[in-house]
Copies of this chain bind each other. A is one copy, B any other.
């Protein structure tokens, strides 16, 4: 231990983010100390301050980078030309897959918002609302063209996001249901909830 050679800044930076993410998701931001992060990274606590000016910034960076990556990934899906029903299906698949692949990022993005200071909170909040608007736009489109039957687009969006995000609380890779099966079930649930007709082929 205590070697300085054999490690470099870039690897440490990546490790810090990985470890902090994992621990924040497991125990919550307030319950994790900088010492604990450092121990798991394999450095001393002081070294962490070469990468973040303080603990708050470390959390904020994780959340902001996650939300920006999420938005970029969704933007890359290009669902504008799809029908509202197909766009909604694409959103469901996208959201579930993003959750299942990055459970910790998604988890802390919803759980640790309250631990952000005002400035950081509003940055993350704006990004989150941008993501919500993507779903609302799909719902509104389907409502306008008659393919959906939605009493309130905003509430429907909140409900859909809550149920999809909730997958992380119980999904286990080795559980009873495969990821593909879960995607099918949620596609049906969501499409039915907005009153869309499901084609035979999901």
Q: A residues engaging B (CB < 8 A)?
A: 26-31, 111, 114-115, 149, 151-152, 154-156, 158-163, 165-167, 169-170, 176-177, 181-182, 184-186, 188-190, 192-195
Contacts of A186 in B (CB 8 A): 155, 159
Q: Is the CB of B156 within 8 A of A189?
A: yes
Q: Is the CB of B159 within 8 A of A163?
A: yes
Chain A interface helix/strand/loop/mixed: helix
Nearest Cβ on chain B to A154's Cβ, whole angstroms? 8
16 new A-B pairs (CB below 8 Å) besides A151-B185, A193-B193?
A28-B115, A31-B115, A149-B192, A151-B189, A152-B177, A152-B185, A155-B186, A156-B185, A158-B166, A158-B167, A158-B169, A158-B170, A159-B163, A162-B163, A162-B169, A192-B192
Nearest Cβ on chain B to A195's Cβ, whole angstroms? 5
Known A-B contacts A192-B194, A193-B192; the reply to A160 vs B163 at CB < 8 A is yes
